[in-house]
Amino acid sequence: MLSAVVVPMMALMPFSPTLAKTAVAAKGRASVPVPSYQFIHDPSMIRQGTTWYLYSTGDPNGAVNGGDIQIRTSTNLRSWKLVGTVFSSIPAWITDRLGPIPNLWAPDISYFGGRYHLYYAASSFGSNHSLIALATSPTLDPHAKGYHWTDRGEVYASNSSDDYNAIDPALISGAGGSKWLVFGSFWSGIKLLALDAATGKPSSRAARLYSLAQAAPPDPEEGAYVVHHGRDYYLFVSRGTCCSGIGSTYEVIVGRSRSITGPYVDPRGRPMSAGGGMELLGSSRGMIGPGSGSVTTGPGGDLFDYHYYDAWNHGDPWLQVRRLLWTPSGWPVTGPPLVPVPGAPR
């Protein structure tokens, strides 16, 4: 088992004084800083009507509604407005379980069963004493009748006696409407768990865990996402070190499988369970350490959203969105970024 020096994907990262000055003490659900708070880490987005909704890791200083999951909206995928957080503070049952933590991590937004499901993680720095939780709402529009995030409690947890880490959840829809959850960070890599489609939770704590990706110790793989395209399932994984600003080494790799449970292999046939994986994204154009990506599919084409660190501006974390394209041989590639790096010289 790894020591506490291992850095999980959502661990606290260097935070610039500029951003810190914009944070204000949270006093309620609608409390947000002015100007709009810049910290965007571990994004997950979805469209309802003509509006895009983006969910991301909470303020690492805990100043924006106690570090709760942040919500932003956009109509063009290029400019985003911070509109609040899911809860007004971290649910008390989480801090009762884990102790004081500054923020919640790595949300994943999806829609099934007539409501929106938001999976997210909570943990302490460098630890696998972690849990994945769930909140649901009938709508994403804060102004709509019935808007309310209901806390559904724990989905899955890991402890120091386990060889995996229950963070970075992402929902997968499989054949026949089946629901699965991919998660994991460092320790023994990326795991997959079947869910009950009615509850959005596993049927039992003894549910089988499938191992999808693993590398040599310290196994720096996390931020996984699975999407179905054509005849195959594609596993996207963030490999390397995150949360270190321009010192981050994150990159996104991918493999594919005919079965949702694997094995996932790269174009050379190397299994991701043995360190394989094709690079999809690496550092470029001042965007350092791209990772924690998710895929949005739709009639207008597939999109890949992720965070990166701005090499030109203190290593601040930002959102980027690209088209996700597919080669004739069925492998994904990314299009150009939708927006330039904010700090880059003009």
Cβ density class 128-158: b for 16+ within 10 Å, e for less: bbbbbbbbbbeebbeeeeeeebeebeebbbb
Question: How far, in Å, CA of 330 to CA of 241, rounded?
Answer: 28
Do residues 165 and 7 make contact, with C-beta atoms less than 8 angstroms apart?
Answer: no
Question: How far, in Å, CA of 232 to CA of 256, rounded?
Answer: 6
C-alpha torsion 253→217→195→89, nearest 10 = -90
96 is written with which tokens? 């009762």
Place of tokens 């999980």: 8
Which of 59, 168, 219, 222 is catalytic? The answer is 222
Which of 42, 68, 251, 316 is catalytic? The answer is 42
Question: How far, in Å, CA of 166 to CA of 168, rounded?
Answer: 7
> Is 42 designated active site?
yes
Question: How far, in Å, CA of 52 to CA of 39, rounded?
Answer: 18
275 is written with which tokens? 């360190």
326 is written with which tokens? 């597919």
Query: What letter does residue 93 receive in the DSSP assignment?
Result: H
Query: What letter does residue 159 receive in the DSSP assignment?
Result: -
Burial class of residue 17, CB neighbours in 10 A (0-12, 13-18, 19+) = exposed
| Active site positions, annotated | 42, 222
